[in-house]
Homo-oligomer: A and B are copies of this chain.
Amino acid sequence: MVADPLGRRERKRLATHHALRTAALRLGAERGIRDVTVEEIATAADVSVRTFYDHFPSKEDAIIGFDAWRVGQLRDALASRPIDEAPLEALRVVMGQLFHESSDEWPLRMRAIKADPALMGRMFVSFIAYERALVEVIEQRTGLDSDTDPYPALVTAVATAAFRASMTTARASGGVLDPAATFDAAIARLSSALRPPADEDGNAAC
């Protein structure tokens, strides 16, 4: 018997979490999240409505579902990229991972967004939290202060834009284009314009 690093309690909690997310994802993809009540999701996962709200702040979050702890995870991943890597390239690697994590959920997520495009906006809301964390890392990497230099906020926002546009395009193409590949291509295209500005040593910006 292999020892599980997680206790039974934690495992059950994760199971509930997963059941709720899966139910929300399935129902949202089928009928559009606006036509699904929290009660339906909770019932499908065989828990109470109150428990749902212990796991997610809203039904939209259960579908978009970027947990708070993943913000820290993403920040650490960005911080551990080689220091000489261009900021946009580092962002490409880190954000690109999002396409591969729990990749079985993405098709359902895409269909749910198609059924209710307002979800794309909600997803954007989640990204704001990500960006705040990522901007801090970019500031450290480049030595630039967001209060005086637009670069950190700009490069992060542009990376998010590429992520978002890739999702939209891949969805519009009906499966012909791959989101991850489209994302990489978009970043490649933008990289020349977004090299970090010259530092105090006088290195060229372009």
Interface residues of A (CB under 8 A from B): 117-118, 120-122, 124-126, 128, 146-150, 153-154, 156-158, 160-162, 164-166, 168-169, 172-174, 176-177, 182, 185-186, 189-194
Contacts and interface: CB of A to CB of B under 8 A. Distances in A.
Contacts of A192: 192-193
B118 A150 contact: no
A157 B164 contact: yes
Given A121-B128, A124-B128, A157-B162, A174 B147 contact: yes
Contact of A158 (B124, B161, B174, B182): B161
Chain A contact residues, majority secondary structure: helix
A161 B154 contact: yes
A64 to B, nearest CB: 11
B157 A161 contact: yes
A150 B187 CA distance: 12
A117 B120 CA distance: 18
Given A158-B158, A193-B192, A168 B153 contact: yes
